Amino acid sequence: MKMDILDIILSIGIPTIVIALIYIGRKLQVLDDVEKTVKSMYERFIKVEERVDTLWKDEVAPAHSPRKLNDYGNRILTESGIKEIINEKKEKLLGLVREKDAKNAYDAERAVLSVVEHLPEHCPDVVERLKAGAYKTGASVATVLLVGGLYLRDLIFSELGFSPEEIDSHGKG
């Protein structure tokens, strides 16, 4: 009699375990497929983000090396107040750029743009002026900071030992 109960348990239990393992295997396969899809979407998103970033920059400074402000960029520079802010904070910003220890013009430009992009963190006292300037010109704060970064680059590049024309002569990496 005990053998009959054991046989019943085994005849029910083993197929149940096999079915459960198949079910779990399929779910793991679905998760693996989802992971591959998410990775692919992430890679495509990064490409799109880079292209949008380039288009946004082209709005105020067309893409040729080195970037130079166009009429719209110059209007933002003068009307937003970023030119005055950069002139006031020049020495502090120059010191922050020097800390990045750029070895070539390309890296120096990236350092300048990065320092100005983070201007609100370095100089919290200018945040309200940045917002007011952005509002006044109809531009975003990020655009005002990009314009300010290009202005600062031209202002301090010789002090860093570079010229804007050198930017493309070094490997971008």
Distance CA 102, CA 110 (A): 9
**Same domain for 23 and 102?**
no
The pTM of the full predicted model, rounded to 2 decimals, is 0.66
86 lies in some domain: yes
137 lies in some domain: yes
Q: Is the pLDDT of residue 29 over 70?
A: yes
Note the pLDDT tens digit of each residue in 33-59.
Answer: 989 888 888 888 877 777 777 667 777
Which residue range forms the structural domain that includes residue 20? Answer: 1-58
Distances from the Cα of 157 to the Cα of 8, 29, 125, 160, angstroms? 85, 55, 25, 5
Which stretches does DSSP call E strand in the chain?
A: none
**Same domain for 7 and 30?**
yes
65 lies in some domain: no
